C-alpha cells in the first residue's frame, strides 16, 4: 500500500487524511473501513487520525465531498477541452466522462459506495443530490448550445433530456462497477449515444 506524505500545515494534513481514507475505502470497501487502514495509508498513527477527525463519519463525508468535486471538475474539463464549435463532440465528451472505464474504475466505484450513505445521512444525501443536479446542468448546457447552433433538434426541454441522460449513465455505470458481464463499458457508451442521437436528431453522435 502506498503511503501519503506527511504535510506540515493542518489544512494539508486534513487533505492527506481525506486522500488516505478514499484510498482505504477503494481498497477495503466502506463497510470494512477502519481507522487503522486510514492511518496506514497516510503513514501516521491512529491517534493522529482521531485528532483531526474524532468522528469517522465526518472524515467519510469529506471523502464524499472531495470525490464529488473531483468528478465534476473532470467532467467540466472534458467538455471544455472538446471542440467548442462541434456540439456533437462536446456531448460525446460528456458521455465518455460520465461512464466508468471498466469494472475496477476507482472514481466511480468510490462514488457509488459513498452514495449508499445517502439513505441515512443528510450530508451524504445533499452531496448526491448536488452531484446529480450539477451533472444535469452540464448536459442541459450542451444540449441548449447544440440546439441554438442548429446541430440538435431536441425532443423535449433540454433540462428534461439532461435528467434522462444522467440517469441512464448512472444506471449503466452501476452495472459496470458491479461486474455485470452483460453491461460492458463500450456497449454502455454505444447505448447512451444511441439515446442521445434519438433525442437530438443528430446523426454525428
Output the CA–CA distances (angstroms, integers) from residue 51 to 16, 43, 47, 65, 90, in the order listed: 14, 15, 6, 20, 45
Percent pLDDT > 70 in the chain is 96
C-alpha 3/C-alpha 16 separation (Å) is 10
pLDDT of residue 133 exceeding 50, the answer is: yes
pLDDT in tens, 110-132: 999 999 999 999 999 999 999 99
SS3 content of the chain, % helix, strand, coil (to 5): 75, 0, 25
Mean pLDDT of 8-19: 87
Does residue 72 have a pLDDT over 90? yes
**How far apart are the C-alpha atoms of 99 and 177, rounded to whole Å?**
10
Amino acid at each position: 500500500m502506498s503511503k501519503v506524505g506527511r504535510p506540515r500545515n493542518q489544512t494539508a494534513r486534513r487533505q492527506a487524511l481525506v486522500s488516505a481514507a478514499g484510498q482505504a475505502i477503494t481498497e477495503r470497501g466502506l463497510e470494512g473501513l477502519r481507522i487503522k487502514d486510514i492511518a496506514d495509508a497516510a503513514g501516521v498513527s491512529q491517534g493522529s487520525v482521531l485528532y483531526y477527525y474524532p468522528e469517522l463519519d465526518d472524515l467519510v463525508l469529506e471523502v464524499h465531498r472531495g470525490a464529488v468535486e473531483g468528478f465534476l471538475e473532470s467532467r467540466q474539463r472534458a467538455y471544455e477541452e472538446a471542440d467548442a464549435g462541434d456540439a456533437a463532440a462536446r456531448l460525446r465528451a460528456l458521455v465518455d466522462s460520465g461512464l466508468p472505464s471498466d469494472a475496477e474504475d476507482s472514481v466511480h466505484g468510490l462514488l457509488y459506495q459513498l452514495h449508499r450513505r445517502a439513505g441515512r445521512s443528510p450530508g451524504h444525501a445533499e452531496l448526491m443530490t448536488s452531484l446529480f443536479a450539477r451533472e444535469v446542468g452540464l448536459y442541459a448546457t450542451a444540449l441548449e448550445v447544440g440546439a441554438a447552433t442548429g446541430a440538435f433538434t431536441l425532443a423535449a426541454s433540454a433540462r428534461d433530456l439532461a435528467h434522462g441522460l444522467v440517469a441512464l449513465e448512472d444506471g449503466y455505470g452501476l452495472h459496470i462497477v458491479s461486474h455485470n458481464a452483460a453491461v460492458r463499458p463500450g456497449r454502455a457508451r454505444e447505448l447512451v449515444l444511441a439515446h442521445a442521437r434519438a433525442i437530438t436528431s443528430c446523426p454525428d453522435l
